[in-house]
Amino acid sequence: MYSFFIRRVLATIPVLGMVAIFVFFMLRMTPGDPAAVLAGDNGTPQQIEEIRESLGLNEPIPIQLGIYLADILRGDLGQSYFFKRDVTELIGLRVEPTLALASTTLILTILVAVPLGVIAAFRRGTWLDRGVMGFSVLGFSIPIFVLGYILMYVFAMELKMFPVQGYKSIFEGFGPFIHRLVLPSIALSVIYIALIARITRASVLEVLGEDYIRTAYAKGLPRRVVLMKHALRNAAIPIVTVIGIGVALLIGGVVVTESVFNIPGLGRLTVDAVLGRDYPTIQALILVFSFTYVFINLMVDLTYTLLDPRIRY
């Protein structure tokens, strides 16, 4: 058990290393002179040279890679061209809104999606099931930004129930904080809810076909007990797994949602950095987002041991 924890934690190291190396080579493998690309169409030769110098592009590749990895390990993610400050510091300033948005979305998703999926599975083939499945296909298909604008139009502009855009820190009071997060969280959670509801339904249905469910019925247990006690816990692992994997969707969605609702978080920072061709910042953000993603999935794997006594690796 203990060794499982350690091995699972160690197993993330090659993945993280791989991510870091990708990010490194992504810049170096682009066709043409990366420095020229970064300088943009109007870059002067002097600017290009400066960029080359600051990125250490004049060094041989292995040395560049070594420096780059050592910097990451020290927590030094470089200097932003666009914002003219330490990227680490910049990320620190922008992290709160993103964390807030992601957390509310995650909570909303789990609270809505799991019951929806369970109900759909229990009432398989009924209009309720078809409704949930229909919503799920729809949820996968509506682009977050279209949904965001529709929500904004209806609930903020027409009904005036919520502020149109913006963000207030939780330190300025919980009321205004949560008030501004309602619409973005809904917009962001729809695709995630679609995913989790679907997988919940599928897992529960699969479990309901298992032999031990038949045993439970043969014991004379009522349907409700069979479902809640026997089916749900066995269906939990795939559900939790997909909640973890779905965080990738969430991260992609954060970038869009923050742009639509004008939330000054890491997603907005990403877009600004891309538009400003601020490569050190883009690089750092990819690392931060990917590392977070890997970390969350590590946590998910570790919860397996709580859910299933068979897992002892």
Half-sphere exposure of 64 (CA within 13 A, CB side): 17
Residue 174 beta carbon to another protein: minimum distance, rounded to whole angstroms: 28
Residue of 65, 99, 112, 142 that binds another protein (CB under 8 A): 142
Residue 244 beta carbon to another protein: minimum distance, rounded to whole angstroms: 12
Q: Which two tokens stand for residue 169?
A: 């820190």
Does residue 1 interact with another protein by CB under 8 A?
A: no
Q: Tokens 């993603």 identify what position?
A: 293
Q: How far apart are alpha carbons 268 and 222 in whole angstroms?
A: 51
Q: Which stretch binds another protein (CB under 8 A): 62-70, 71-79, 96-104, 228-236?
A: 228-236
Residue 173 beta carbon to another protein: minimum distance, rounded to whole angstroms: 27
159-198 binders of another protein (CB under 8 A): 164
Does residue 94 interact with another protein by CB under 8 A?
A: no
Q: How far apart are alpha carbons 1 and 132 in whole angstroms?
A: 38
Q: Which stretch binds another protein (CB under 8 A): 46-54, 98-106, 168-176, 271-279?
A: 271-279
Closest CA to 236 of 212, 216, 206, 215: 206
3-42 binders of another protein (CB under 8 A): 3, 6-7, 14-19, 21-23, 26-27, 30-31, 34, 37
Residue 238 beta carbon to another protein: minimum distance, rounded to whole angstroms: 9
Q: How far apart are alpha carbons 173 and 152 in whole angstroms?
A: 23
Query: Which residues have CB under 8 Å from 200's CB, separation 6+?
Result: 113, 114, 116, 117, 118, 120, 121, 235, 239
Does residue 154 interact with another protein by CB under 8 A?
A: no
Residue of 39, 102, 132, 144 that binds another protein (CB under 8 A): 144
- DSSP helix/strand/coil, 79: strand
Question: Which backbone phi and psi does 275 adopt, to 5 degrees?
Answer: -65, -30
Does residue 307 interact with another protein by CB under 8 A?
A: yes
Residue of 146, 161, 299, 302 that binds another protein (CB under 8 A): 146
